[in-house]
Structure 1
Amino acid sequence: MGVFKFKLPDVGEGVTEAEIVEWRIKAGDDIAEDDNMVDVMTDKATVELPSPVSGKVKALNGEPGDIIATGTVIVEIEVEGDVPNQEEEAAPEPEPKQPEKVAEEAKASEAPKEEPEEKSEPKPEPAPKPAASAPKAAAREDGERPLASPAVRKRALDSDIDLGAVPGTGPAGRITHQDMDDFIASGGRLAAAAGGGSSRGLAKRTGEETSKIIGLRRKIAENMAKSKRTIPHFAYVEEIDVTDLESLRQHLNATRKDGQPKLTILPFLMTALCRALPDFPAANANYDEESNELTRFEPVHCGIATATQNGLMVPVVRHAEALSIWDQAAEISRLAEAARTGKATKDELTGSTITITSLGAMGGVASTPVINAPETAIIGVNKMQELPRYDAKGRVAPRLMMNLSSSFDHRMVDGYDAASLIQALKAMLENPATIFME
C-alpha cells in the first residue's frame, strides 16, 4: 500500500499554470484508471485530467478557482502495491474540451453516488426508483444559504423554486439535480409556488446569490478589465443608410442556390472591411505592450464576437479577404455554432487581427465596444430601424438606418484615420455594388 501523488501536468505548449474549474471526485472515493478527476482551464480551453492509476482518493489539494502551477501535487491516491512514478507513467493525454461542455457534464457529475450499505442498519429498497437507496438529506440551519451549482440554481429560478425548501443529499448538503427531481415529483414545486405570494408578482423577493468567478467568466473579466485599463479607447459612431444593402441582401437570399447559407449583414461588412483595411494598416494589427511593437497584418483574420451560454467568445474567420461573401457567411455560421456547442478548437479561437461585434436585433442605437486586445480596433453593428430622412430632392422618405459603433486603440490609430476608415465603410455599405468592385 502506498500513496501516488498526481502532479498537475503541462496541459498545453508553454503553459505554466492552470485554474481548477471543477472537481469530479472527493476524498474517500474509489477511482479507476482513466476516470476523470478534475477539469482545469488555461486561456479559453478546459481540459479533463484522467487518473493514471486505480485506488482510493486520499486528498485533494486546491479549490475551484485556485490557480495551480504546473508540477504541483493536486491529488493523492492510495494504491495497492508499488507506487508508480508519474514521470515514468505515460498518462493518457488529456482531452481538451470547451467550457460549454462543462455545464452539460456537471449534471451527470452532481448525481449522488450510491453509498455502500451499512452492515448494522440495512436500508429497505425504496419504491420504483432506479437507485438502490436514497442518500440522507443534510440538516440546514435556519437562514443558511443552500449549496448548489449554477446549473441547479438556474433550474430552480426557471421553475420558481425556493432552493431553501429543497433538501440536499450531496456533499455538505449540496442540492443536486436528483434532489430537484425528487422535490418536484413530490409536489414541492406546486407547494413552493402556492406559498410564494401572489401570481401577479407582488411578493417581496428576498433571495440573493454569491458565487466565485472562475473559469471562462474569470478570463473574460480579466481581459475586459485589462483592455479598458491599459488601452485608451477612441469611440466613433456613424449613421449608415443600409436601405439598398438590405434590398440586395434580401434579393440574394431569395435567389441563393441549394447549399448556400443565408446571408446576414455581417459578410457584407466583412467584405467591405477587407477592401478598406489595406489603406488603414494600423487598424488591422496587434500591439504588444511588453515589447512595444506593432504588428500590421496584410491578411484579415476577422474575429466574430459570439455570445455563448458560458460567456463571450471570439471565433476567427481566417483569411476573410480570400473568401467570397457566401463562404464568409458559411464560416461565420460554422464557427458560431462550434463556439456555442463547445466544439471550437484553440486555433479557431485565437489569432484575430480585428473583430466585428453585433447584438443583432438588440443592438441598440449606439454602443461602445471594448477592444479585443491585443488588437487595435473593433467594429460594432447596431440595430437597423426605419427612420424619416431627406432624399436628394429635399423630400422626406423612409430609409433603413443603422449605426456603426467602433472603438480604436488611440495609441496606434489616430482619430482622423479611425474616422476615415468608418467613412470608407459607409461609402461602400451605402453603395453596395462598390463592395464587390476591384
Structure 2
Amino acid sequence: MLEVKLHDIGEGMTEGEIIHYLVKPGERVIADQPLVEVQTDKMVAELPSPGAGTIKEIIISTGTTVAVGTTLLYIEGEGSLEPVSEGKASETPKEEVPVLLKEKNEFVSSFNRVLATPYTRKIARDHHINIEDVTPSDPSGRVTEEDVYRFMKGEQLAENEAVSTIVEPEVLAKPISPDEIPFRGIRKQIAKKMTKSLFTIPHVTHFDEVNMTNLLKLREELKKEGVHVSVPAFFMKALVFALKDFPVFNAELDEENDRILLKKEYHLGIAVDTKEGLIVPVIHHADKKSIQQIHDEMKCLNEKARDGKLAAADIQNSTFTVSNVGPLGSTGATPIINYPETALIAFHKTKKVPIVTENDEIIIGHVMTLSMSFDHRVADGATAVAFTNRFASLIEQPNKLMLEMI
C-alpha cells in the first residue's frame, strides 16, 4: 500500500491546506499523475502519485490544513496480491517487473485531464464547472480563465431563465444573504504570515524622497538606442549595493541563538499583485546579474506569478523584499515585513514637482516617494536613513551606479 503524505514542497513549509483532490477512491492512477492540489503560503502546488495503482482511501478532507508528514491518501499498488507498506513497495523484486508491465499494458489510464493552471481550475471549481467540459481557445489545448468565464456566462443565462419562472412574491419573501468571499487559499496564508510578522517584529517605517529626473533621462536615452530596461530594474541593482554597505538589512534575527545572521547572498523578492493575492517571486543572486538580466527576469517572474505558473524554486530564500506600488497610484504606505526578513522597501508614485537646484534655480523634476519598514530589534532609524540615502544617491546620479558595476 502506497502512503501519500504531504511533503515539504518549498521554502521550509510546515503545513498546507488541502484545496482539491484530482482523483476519487476506486480510480486507477499512473506514476507522477497529479493527485491533489495543496495551498502553501505562496502558491498552489500539485502532489504527484508515487506509483501506479488504485486509490484505496482518502484520509484528509478538502479545506483542512495539515502539517507536513500527514498522510493524505492510500494507493493500492498495481500487481500487489497483498497490501504492503510504502517502505516495502520500493523493495519489489526485479523478477516481478514483467508482471507489472503486462498489467500496465492492459490498463487504460483515466489520467486525461485538460491543460490548465491551478488558478483556472479553482475558478471552475468555485462555479461548479467541470473543466473538461470547457472548450479551450488556445491552440495548445490549454483552458484559460477566459475560457471558463465564457462557459460560465452560458451557465448563468440558463440559471437566469430558470429563475424568471419563480413567482415574484416568493422571491421577495426570502431574506437577501450577504455576498461572501471564501477566506482560504493564498489569501488565508497571507493573513497568517502577515499576522505573525506584525505581532513578532516591532515595525518602524521610514519615509523618504528620491529625485528621479536623471534616471528617467538615462532611460529615455537608452530607449532611443533600442535598449528597453524598466526603472525597477535599476532600483534592484542599486539596492544590492546599498545592502552590501548596510548588511544589517540583508539579515535575519535568530532569537533562539541570540544572533543576527548577515546573509552573504542577495535574493531580492518582488511583491506581485495577482488575482489570488500577493505573491513574492525571487530574483536570486541579484548581485551577479546585470540590470538587463534583472529586467528580463522580473518580467518573466511577473508573468508566471499572474498565470499561476510559479515553481517552488521561484519563491524560495528571499533575503530582502521590494514592493513597487507607484504604478498603481500609491503615494505612501507602512508595508509589513516579509517575515523572517529584516526590512522591506516600497516605491510609490513619481510626480512632477518644482525642484530647487544648488544654484537656487527652480526646475521641474520628477520625485518619487519611498517607504521602508524595518525590524527595530535589528536596526535603528539612523541606519535606515543612511541606507535610503545611499540608495537615493545611486538613483539620483545613475553614473555612480554604472561606476559601481565596473
The verdict on a shared fold, with TM-score over 0.5 as the criterion, is yes
Q: Deviations over 1:127-173 (max 9, x none)?
A: xx99xxxxxxxxxxxxxxxxxxxx89x95xxx9xxxxxxxxxxxxxx
Of the three residues 220, 227, 245, the one matched with 1:250 is 220
Specify the alignment match of 2:119 in structure 1: 103
Q: Aligned in 2, Cα 1:273/1:229: closer, same or farther, shift over 3 Å?
A: same
Specify the alignment match of 1:382 in structure 2: 348
Specify the alignment match of 2:104 in structure 1: none
Q: Deviations over 1:358-397 (max 9, x none)?
A: 1141141111121112211111111111122333444443
* TM-score in terms of structure 2 length: 0.74
1-structure distance, mates of 2:248, 2:329: 27
Q: Aligned in 2, Cα 1:408/1:65: closer, same or farther, shift over 3 Å?
A: same
Q: Aligned in 2, Cα 1:191/1:72: closer, same or farther, shift over 3 Å?
A: same
Q: Is the 8 A contact 1:58 1:78 kept in 2?
A: no
Q: Aligned in 2, Cα 1:73/1:182: closer, same or farther, shift over 3 Å?
A: closer
Higher RCO by CA contacts (8 Å cutoff, separation 6 or greater): 2
Q: Is the 8 A contact 1:369 1:406 kept in 2?
A: yes
Specify the alignment match of 1:89 in structure 2: 89
The one-letter amino acid of 1:245's match is L
Of the three residues 231, 237, 240, the one matched with 1:274 is 240
Q: Aligned in 2, Cα 1:413/1:363: closer, same or farther, shift over 3 Å?
A: farther
1-structure distance, mates of 2:13, 2:339: 20
Q: Deviations over 1:331-360 (max 9, x none)?
A: 222222233333333232111221111114
Question: Which moves more between the two structures, 400-409 or 14-23?
Answer: 14-23
1-structure distance, mates of 2:299, 2:276: 19
Q: Aligned in 2, Cα 1:363/1:285: closer, same or farther, shift over 3 Å?
A: farther
Question: Which moves more between the two structures, 232-241 or 296-305?
Answer: 296-305
Specify the alignment match of 1:237 in structure 2: 207
Specify the alignment match of 2:310 in structure 1: 344
Specify the alignment match of 1:429 in structure 2: 395
1:289 aligns with 2:255: yes
Q: Aligned in 2, Cα 1:254/1:88: closer, same or farther, shift over 3 Å?
A: farther
Q: Is the 8 A contact 2:121 2:131 kept in 1?
A: no
Q: Aligned in 2, Cα 1:393/1:101: closer, same or farther, shift over 3 Å?
A: same
Q: Is the 8 A contact 1:288 1:374 kept in 2?
A: no
- Residue 242 of structure 1 and its aligned partner are, at CA, apart by 0.7
- Residue 248 of structure 1 and its aligned partner are, at CA, apart by 0.7
Question: Which moves more between the two structures, 82-91 or 329-338?
Answer: 82-91
1:8 aligns with 2:24: no
Specify the alignment match of 2:157 in structure 1: 184
Secondary structure of the residue aligned to 2:197 is: helix
Q: Is the 8 A contact 1:18 1:41 kept in 2?
A: yes
Specify the alignment match of 1:39 in structure 2: 37
1:67 aligns with 2:59: no
Of the three residues 182, 189, 197, the one matched with 1:211 is 182
The one-letter amino acid of 2:217's match is S
Specify the alignment match of 2:106 in structure 1: none
1-structure distance, mates of 2:30, 2:20: 19
1-structure distance, mates of 2:395, 2:72: 57
Specify the alignment match of 1:173 in structure 2: none
Q: Aligned in 2, Cα 1:406/1:60: closer, same or farther, shift over 3 Å?
A: same
Specify the alignment match of 2:334 in structure 1: 368
1-structure distance, mates of 2:27, 2:343: 52
Q: Is the 8 A contact 1:244 1:431 kept in 2?
A: yes
- Residue 254 of structure 1 and its aligned partner are, at CA, apart by 2.4
Query: Percent identity between the aligned chains?
Result: 27
Secondary structure of the residue aligned to 1:87 is: helix
* TM-score in terms of structure 1 length: 0.69
- Residue 42 of structure 1 and its aligned partner are, at CA, apart by 4.3
The one-letter amino acid of 1:89's match is A
1:306 aligns with 2:272: yes
CA RMSD of the aligned region, Å?
Answer: 3.8
The one-letter amino acid of 1:236's match is H
The one-letter amino acid of 2:5's match is L
Q: Aligned in 2, Cα 1:183/1:347: closer, same or farther, shift over 3 Å?
A: closer
2-structure distance, mates of 1:206, 1:64: 23
Q: Deviations over 1:291-344 (max 9, x none)?
A: 332111333221111222322222222222222211221122222223333333
- Residue 236 of structure 1 and its aligned partner are, at CA, apart by 0.8
Q: Aligned in 2, Cα 1:389/1:416: closer, same or farther, shift over 3 Å?
A: same
Q: Is the 8 A contact 2:3 2:85 kept in 1?
A: no
Q: Aligned in 2, Cα 1:86/1:421: closer, same or farther, shift over 3 Å?
A: same
Unaligned runs of 5+ in 1: 92-99, 115-128, 131-150, 160-176, 196-204
Specify the alignment match of 1:94 in structure 2: none
Unaligned runs of 5+ in 2: 93-115, 135-144, 169-175
2-structure distance, mates of 1:432, 1:377: 24
Secondary structure of the residue aligned to 2:399 is: helix
2-structure distance, mates of 1:289, 1:430: 37
Specify the alignment match of 2:171 in structure 1: none
1-structure distance, mates of 2:401, 2:218: 12
Q: Aligned in 2, Cα 1:429/1:69: closer, same or farther, shift over 3 Å?
A: closer
Q: Aligned in 2, Cα 1:298/1:396: closer, same or farther, shift over 3 Å?
A: same
* Greater helix share, structure number: 2
2-structure distance, mates of 1:15, 1:285: 20
Secondary structure of the residue aligned to 1:436 is: helix
Q: Is the 8 A contact 2:2 2:50 kept in 1?
A: no
The one-letter amino acid of 2:121's match is E
Q: Is the 8 A contact 2:41 2:190 kept in 1?
A: no
